[in-house]
Amino acid sequence: MSHQGEQDYSLTFDRLVIVSNRLPITVSKDEDNGGWQFRQSIGGLVTALTSVLKKRKGMWIGWPGITEEANLDGLLARASDELGYTMRSISLDKEELDLYYFGFSNEVMWPLFHDLQSNCNFDPAYWYEYQVVNQKFAKVIAENIGPNDYIWIQDYHLVMVAKELRRLGVKNKMGFFLHIPFPSPDAFIRMPWRVQILEALLEYDLLGFQTPRDRNNFVYCMEAVLRGFRVDTRRQVATISTPKRKIQVGSFPISIDYKEFASVAASEEVANMSNQLRRAMHNRCILLGVDRLDYSKGIPEKLRAFRNMLERYSDLHNKLALIQIVVPSREDIPGYQTLLSEIEGLVGEINGEFSQPGWVPVQYMFRNFERAEILAYYRASDIAVITPLKDGMNLVAKEYCAAHADNKGVLILSEFAGSAIQFRKNALLVNPYDIEGIADAMYRAYEMDLQEQKWRMRKLRRSIARRDVYWWVNFFLQTAASDVAVPR
Ligand code: F6P
């Protein structure tokens, strides 16, 4: 189907209602007049959903990103006019945000679902507030929908919303997409509220996961924890039948707006910045890491591997450099501060040990970047090193390839990123816990001849172009629409 092609699901539902923790805008104080201003968030998900929401005259419901009490009606009306669909905001005060977002979402769900149980803090107060805030979302949704709207809930912050909506008597079709991995039963059963979480997920009509592995883990967890249902996994989209209803369960690998990325990366502005960067690095081979500050991203492991490579392959000294960009995130959580100190300590140690006049092996940056700048870094670098300990998909891998129109460049990718399934043949896959293995992959990437680079990169790019974020949205919504015959 073409991206702009008529979508079958448009005949099935009236409006599409997207619900996510954050609205697709960032609200901030206007320094000049003290009022509120907004900026549209960038990213493939927002772009892809915006195009569907515009067509369907849809709605996006979420938190506007501030905890101050404020009347945002005027601002949201302006944003809705500008973006072409309606927006409704959920206000959260500081305590709600602390317990629901930093607490349950990011100190329980996030680490547990990324197999990092030692980072979990199963504080019951987090769980209670998570339910209260999910109820709050449900109430606003119920007040704003029509009977034939499709409600699509995004991500781990909002698992309980369908259950709360059903309690309010809402009968609409509802889908849920989990952007992060789903853990195996061994990890999941540690969750004190495992029954409630799984039962709440069964209130949706369609459950979407990033990979078949996540989907299967969900089914295995169901089998380990709940009783009284049947699973049919014979089709690509499985079904779970309970005495009350049928739920579709599938894998829908998310992607990027490939064409848009490739075209901005090819722009003169990005080309100039990229050339400047290469000159600044004296045309040395550039290895690049771009990660949000998160312990799931394997940044210390990557730095240790880089150090190991410098120790074992001294012929590479002065010939290459690692540019590591770390984007600030969730800094109110103690574990993130510890991670930041660890990263900064390692960068200091490596540079202290190996730097020479005119050569600093690790160039480390901890700040936010404009998208054009990031694209310039992608374009300028020879090797991307992406080593998450676990990741739902990892869109940096896709963005890096989309930016390489010249088909040069090598992708080193953790086998525990969701994208490794799609890229397993043409990326250099590594185990992020295997420091020497990553170091060897870096060396191999450095040595790889242009012909092999191009042959691999062409295939990587083709597969991203074929399954971009529009394909993802269509695939999910068409699956949702195909379910109309399934009785409730
Ligand atoms: O990967 C899950 C995710 O929620 C992304 O959707 C988001 O970009 C990232 O984590 C950071 O999210 P936040 O800053 O809202 O915690």
405 shares its domain with 438: yes
What number does the ligand 1 atom closest to the CA of 45 have? 6
226, two tokens: 């709940």
- The edge-to-edge listing of strands for the beta sheet with 230-232 is 86-89, 59-63, 16-22, 150-154, 174-177, 206-209, 246-251, 238-241, 230-232
Asked if the model's pLDDT at residue 239 lies above 50, the reply is yes
In the residue annotation, 179 being an active-site residue is answered as: yes
Q: Is 317 a catalytic residue?
A: no
238 with 363, same domain? no
One domain, residues 212 and 350: no
Q: Is the pLDDT of residue 165 over 50?
A: yes
Atom of ligand 1 nearest to the CA of 155: 4
In a domain, 358, yes or no: yes
Say if residue 156 is in the same domain as residue 45.
yes
Q: What is the pLDDT of residue 8?
A: 58
**421 Cβ contact partners less than 8 Å away, ≥ 6 residues apart:** 211, 212, 213, 253
- pLDDT tens digits, 2-31: 344 445 566 689 999 999 999 999 898 888
Strand partners, 410: 383
Task: Work out the average pLDDT over 71-89.
Answer: 92
Rg (CA), the chain: 23
What lines the ligand 1 site, CB under 6 Å? 21-22, 155, 179-180, 329-330, 392
Q: What is the pLDDT of residue 35?
A: 86
C-alpha–C-alpha distance, residues 447 and 477, integer Å: 44
Is 266 in the same domain as 233?
A: no
Ligand 1: which of 18, 330, 398 to mutate, judged by most atoms within 8 Å of the beta carbon? 330
Most ligand 1 atoms within 8 A of CB, residue of 179, 256, 371, 399 to mutate = 179
Report pLDDT for 4: 42
| Mean per-residue pLDDT of the chain | 94
Please tell me the residue having the least CA distance from ligand 1 atom 5. Answer: 179
- Whether residue 485 lies inside any domain: the answer is no
Same domain, 150 and 244: yes
Q: What is the pLDDT of residues 121-154, one digit of tens each?
A: 999 999 999 999 999 999 999 999 999 999 999 9
State residue 10's pLDDT score: 65
Q: Tell me the CA–centroid distance for residue 98 and ligand 1, in Å.
A: 16
Residue 488 lies in a domain: no
pLDDT in tens, 84-126: 999 999 999 999 999 999 999 999 999 999 999 999 999 999 9
Residues 304-329 pLDDT 10s: 999 999 999 999 999 999 999 999 99
Q: How far is the CA of 301 from the centre of ligand 1 (A)?
A: 21
Specify the pLDDT at position 466: 97
To the nearest 5 percent, what fractions of the chain are helix, strand and coil?
50, 20, 35
Average pLDDT over residues 151-170: 98
Buried b (16+ CB within 10 A) or exposed e, 243-253: eeebbbbbbbb
For 273, the token pair is: 């910045």
**At 250, is the secondary structure helix, strand, or coil?**
strand
Q: Which domain holds residue 119?
A: 6-255+470-480
435 CA → ligand 1 middle, Å: 27
Pick the catalytic residue: 149, 155, 391, 468? 391
pLDDT for the residue numbered 236? 86
Q: Considering 3, 98, 115, 179, which one is annotated as catalytic? A: 179
Please report the DSSP string for 315-367 in residue order.
GGTTTEEEEEEEE---TTSHHHHHHHHHHHHHHHHHHHHH-BTTB-SEEEEES
Q: What is the pLDDT of residue 216?
A: 97
In a domain, 155, yes or no: yes
Kindly state whether residue 412 falls inside one of the protein's structural domains.
yes
| Residue 57 CB coordination number (10 Å) | 12
Residue 1 lies in a domain: no
For residues 262-279, give the mean pLDDT: 97
Residue pair 133/95 in contact by the 8 Å Cβ criterion: no
66: which 2 tokens? 């501030």
Residue 419, in any domain of the structure: yes
Q: Is the domain of 271 the same as that of 287?
A: yes
Ligand 1: centre distance to CA 433 (Å): 24
Q: Which atom of ligand 1 is nearest to the CA of 106?
A: 16
pLDDT (tens digit per residue) in 327-342 = 999 988 989 999 999 9
487 within some domain: no
Distance from residue 370's CA to the centre of ligand 1 (Å): 17
1 pLDDT above the threshold of 70: no
Which CATH number belongs to the domain containing residue 19 in this structure?
Answer: 3.40.50.2000
Choose between 95 and 50: higher pLDDT: 95
* pLDDT (0 to 100) of residue 11: 66
Q: Could you read off the pLDDT of 391-434 as tens digits, one per residue? A: 999 999 999 999 999 999 999 999 999 999 999 999 999 999 99
Q: How many domains does the chain have?
A: 2
Closest Cα to atom 9 of ligand 1:
292
Residues in Cβ contact with 57 at an 8 Å cutoff, skipping those fewer than 6 apart: 15, 85, 86
Q: Do 216 and 286 have their domain in common?
A: no
DSSP H/E element including 286: strand 285-292
Residues 456 and 475 in one domain: no
Residue 309 Cα to ligand 1 middle (Å): 32
Residue 216 and residue 125 share a domain: yes
Q: Check whether residue 460 and residue 475 sit in a common domain.
A: no
Best probe residue, ligand 1, of 177, 180, 295, 371 (max atoms within 8 Å of C-beta): 180
Q: Point out the ligand 1 atom lying closest to the alpha carbon of residue 21.
A: 15
Query: What pLDDT does residue 44 have?
Result: 65
pLDDT in tens, 352-385: 999 999 999 999 999 999 999 999 999 999 999 9
Residue 318: Cβ-neighbour burial (10 angstroms; 0-12, 13-18, 19+) = middle
Residue whose CA is at the smallest distance from ligand 1 atom 6: 179
Give me the percent of the chain exceeding a pLDDT of 90: 86
- Collect all residues with Cβ–Cβ distance below 8 Å to 462 and sequence separation of at least 6: none
Measured in Å, residue 292 CA sits from the centre of ligand 1 at 9
- 134 and 38 share a domain? yes
